[in-house]
Amino acid sequence: MIMELLGHEDYLRILLSLRKEGGLRFSQIEKLLGLNPTEVDRALKFLRKGLWVVPHTISAEKGRILVEYRLGKRGAAFLESFKTFTADVQRRKAALGPSEVAQFQSLYR
């Protein structure tokens, strides 16, 4: 599952956003990352299935229930490893090439 996760930029961007924001609703993910509903739905299905993210229900006004997505334990552990990888990519910029490093850094936009 990690290889599939690494192969989808949107999945990584959602995990990174959840780490930064603490928790986001579907529409917030959509707006923050500029994704369409189909892309967000596909990513969240994968991330929930692998327990990378966990949905939490929140009570709202007038009896509405909202779902907020937060990092699961697997997602948090993965991002700790990913942080090490990110730092190493930056250190090896000369060998990897500036365009490859810039593409990698674009995940954090």
Q: Which of 100, 96, 79, 87 is nearest to 19 (CA)?
A: 79
**Counting beta carbons within 10 angstroms of the beta carbon of residue 48, is it exposed (0 to 12), middle (13 to 18) or buried (19 or more)?**
middle
Find out whether 16 and 79 touch, Cβ atoms under 8 Å. Answer: yes
Measured distance CA(95)–CA(69) in Å, rounded: 37
Question: Which residues, listed in sequence order, are joined to residue 59 by a DSSP beta bridge?
Answer: 65
Across the 109 residues of the chain, what is the mean pLDDT of every consecutive 10-residue run? 90 96 96 97 97 93 90 96 87 90 77
Domain boundaries, the chain: 2-105
In 10 A of CB 103, how many CB atoms?
A: 12
| Architecture (CATH level 2) of domain 2-105 | Orthogonal Bundle (1.10)
Q: What is the pTM of this model?
A: 0.86
**pLDDT on residue 89:** 87
